Structure 1
Amino acid sequence: MGDVQLSFVEHLEELRRRLFISALVVVVASIGSYFFIDFIIALIEAPARGLDFIYISPPELFVAYMRIAVICGLAISSPVVLYQFWKFVKPALNKREQRYLLFALYMGVVFFAIGVSFAYIMVLPLALEFFVRIAAPGIEPLFSFAYYLGFVTSVLLAFGVVYQLPLFVVLLGSLGLVSPAFLRKHRKLVLLGIVVLSAFLTPPDVVSQVMLSGPIMLLYELSILLTVLITRKRRKKEQEEELEYIDTDTSG
C-alpha cells in the first residue's frame, strides 16, 4: 500500500514538473513575442489589405497587444508543451498506443497549421472584402482593432480546430470504432452538424460560415476514403493472422 501511495505521489510530482516547464516556456515565449509586436501586427493586418483601424478606449490597444503576445507565446511554445505531454503519458502506454499518440500529435499539428493557413490566406481577405463592399454609400468602414483581432483569432482558431476532423475519424476507424458504412449512412446528419458547428465557431456572418463548412464537408469525404483504406488494411492483417493461426494449429 505504501508503494502505491509513493508511486501516486511521484506521479503527481512528475505532472507538476511538466506543467511548470510548459507554463514557464509559454511565459518566456509570450514576453519574447512582445518585442516583435510591430512585425506581428503587420502580419495580422495583412488580410485587411490597407484598411485603417481605430481604438475606442484608452486601454484597448494595450490589452490587444497583450492578447497578441500571449497567443503567439502559446503558438511558439506548443511543440514544447506537446513534448511535455508526451513524456508524461508515454510510460503508461504500450508500443501500439505510443505509435497512435505520436501519429495523432504530429498530424494534429499539421492539420491545424493547414487550417490556419487556409483561413489566413483565403478566408480572411475574402470575408473582409465582402464586409467592406456591403457598406452603403456614405458609410465609411472604421474597424476597432480589438474587434478585428477577435474576429481574426476566432476564424483562425475555428479553422485550425475543425481541420482535425480527418484525424479524429481516422483514429476512430483505426481502432475499429467506426466503419466506412457507418460514416456513409450518417453523412447527411454529419453535414447538418457541420453547418451548425460552423455557425457556432465562426463570427455571425454567412461568408465565414460557408467558407468553413465547405472545406469541412470535403474533409469528411476524405475521412471516409482514409477509413476505407485503414479498414481494408486492418481486415487483411486479421485474415493473415487467422491463416497463420490455422496453419500453426494444423501443423501442431
Structure 2
Amino acid sequence: MTQDSPASPAEEDTFISHLIELRSRLIRAVVSVLVIFVVLFIYPGPGKIYDILAQPMLATLPPGSRMIAVGVITPFMVPIKVTLLAAFVLALPIVLYQAWAFVAPGLYKNEKRLAMPLIISSTLLFLLGMAFCYFVVFHIVFHFIATFAPHSITPSPDIEAYLSFVMTLFLAFGVAFEVPIVVILLVKTGMVTVAKLRSVRGYVIVGAFIIAAVVTPPDALSQFTLAFPLCVLFEIGVLAASMLDKRKARAEEEKPDTTDVDTM
C-alpha cells in the first residue's frame, strides 16, 4: 500500500509565495477602491452622487414630488452604498490589472496576447452597458411608468427600493454587453464555430427575450430595451469572430511550407 509523498520544501515555498502574492494583489485592489471612496466621500459627497443616480427617476416625477426613505438609517446608508459602488466602478481598471498581474506569470505567450485585450474590452463593454442603461433605458422605463400610472396616484419611490432596482438593471445590462466577448471566446477555444452560431440565431433571439423577461420589469418596453441590444451584440460578436477566423486563415496560408525538404 503506497502513500502519497509529502510535498517538497520547494513546492511548499512556491505555494506560500503564491498566497502572499494573492494577498498583496487583493490588498492593493481593496486599497484602490477605498482611496477612491474616500475622495468621493469628501467631494462631491454621497448625497450629490445619489442625486446624480436618482436624476432619471426625479425627472419623471410630478412637480414637487420627491423620493422617500422608509428606514431610520436609510438616508445615510443608501448614499454610502452608492458611493462605494461608484468607487468600485472607477477603480475597476486597477482591480482587473491586479488580477491580470497575478495570473499573467502562469500564462503562455499567446494567452497573454489574448488576455489583455479581452480584459480591456470586457471592462469597456461593461461600463458601456451601464452607461446605456443610465442614459437610455432609465429614461424610457421611468417615463413609461409615469405615463401609465393613474392620475389618482402620486409616485414617491423609496430610495432603497430604487437602489435595488437600478443595481439589478446595471448588472443585467453590464453583463449583457459582454456577449461579444463570450462569442469570441467560444469560437477561439473551438467550442463552437461561426457557422454553428449563425445557424442557431433564431434560438438566440428567443433566449434573449426570455432573459430580458426574467431580469427586467414586467413590461414589454423594458424587455425590448434589453433583448434588442442582446441580439445586436450577438451579431457583433459573430462578425468579430468571423473576422478573426479569416485573419487566422490568411496568416496560416502566408506561412512558408517547411514540410517539403529537398533530399539528395
Instruction: Give the TM-score normalised by the residue count of structure 2.
Output: 0.88
> Which residue type is aligned with residue 257 of structure 2?
E
> Which residue type is aligned with residue 250 of structure 1?
V
Paired residue for 2:115? 101
Alignment of 1:1-252 (within 5 A): 1-35=8-42, 36-48=45-57, 49=59, 51=61, 52-241=66-255, 244-246=257-259, 249-251=260-262
Q: Secondary structure at the match of 1:238?
A: helix
CA gap of 1:238–1:175, structure 2 versus 1, over 3 A, is farther
User: Once the two structures are superposed, what CA deviation does each residue of 1:61-88 show, in whole Å capped at 9, x if it has no partner?
Assistant: 2221121122112112211111111110
> Which residue type is aligned with residue 49 of structure 2?
I
Q: Percent identity?
A: 29
Number of corresponding residues:
249
| Superposed displacement of residue 187, structure 1 | 1.5
Give the Cα–Cα distance (whole angstroms) in 2 for the partners of residues 138 and 55 of structure 1: 22
> Which residue type is aligned with residue 171 of structure 2?
L
Q: Is the Cα–Cα contact under 8 Å of residues 194 and 213 in structure 1 kept in the other structure?
A: yes
Give the Cα–Cα distance (whole angstroms) in 2 for the partners of residues 128 and 50 of structure 1: 6
| Superposed displacement of residue 12, structure 1 | 0.9
Q: Is the Cα–Cα contact under 8 Å of residues 173 and 230 in structure 1 kept in the other structure?
A: no
Following TM superposition, the consecutive aligned residue runs of length 4 or more in structure 1 with deviations greater than 6 angstroms are none
| Superposed displacement of residue 109, structure 1 | 1.3
Q: Is the Cα–Cα contact under 8 Å of residues 14 and 88 in structure 1 kept in the other structure?
A: yes
| Superposed displacement of residue 182, structure 1 | 0.8
Q: Is the Cα–Cα contact under 8 Å of residues 155 and 203 in structure 1 kept in the other structure?
A: no
| Superposed displacement of residue 224, structure 1 | 1.5
Q: Secondary structure at the match of 1:244?
A: coil
Give the Cα–Cα distance (whole angstroms) in 2 for the partners of residues 237 and 112 of structure 1: 31
User: Once the two structures are superposed, what CA deviation does each residue of 1:150-182 show, in whole Å capped at 9, x if it has no partner?
Assistant: 222221221111100001111222333321111
| Superposed displacement of residue 225, structure 1 | 1.4
CA RMSD for the aligned pairs?
A: 1.8
Give the Cα–Cα distance (whole angstroms) in 1 for the partners of residues 167 and 39 of structure 2: 20
> Which residue type is aligned with residue 174 of structure 1?
K
Give the Cα–Cα distance (whole angstroms) in 2 for the partners of residues 226 and 21 of structure 1: 34
Give the Cα–Cα distance (whole angstroms) in 1 for the partners of residues 240 and 246 of structure 2: 10
Q: Which has the higher helix share?
A: 1
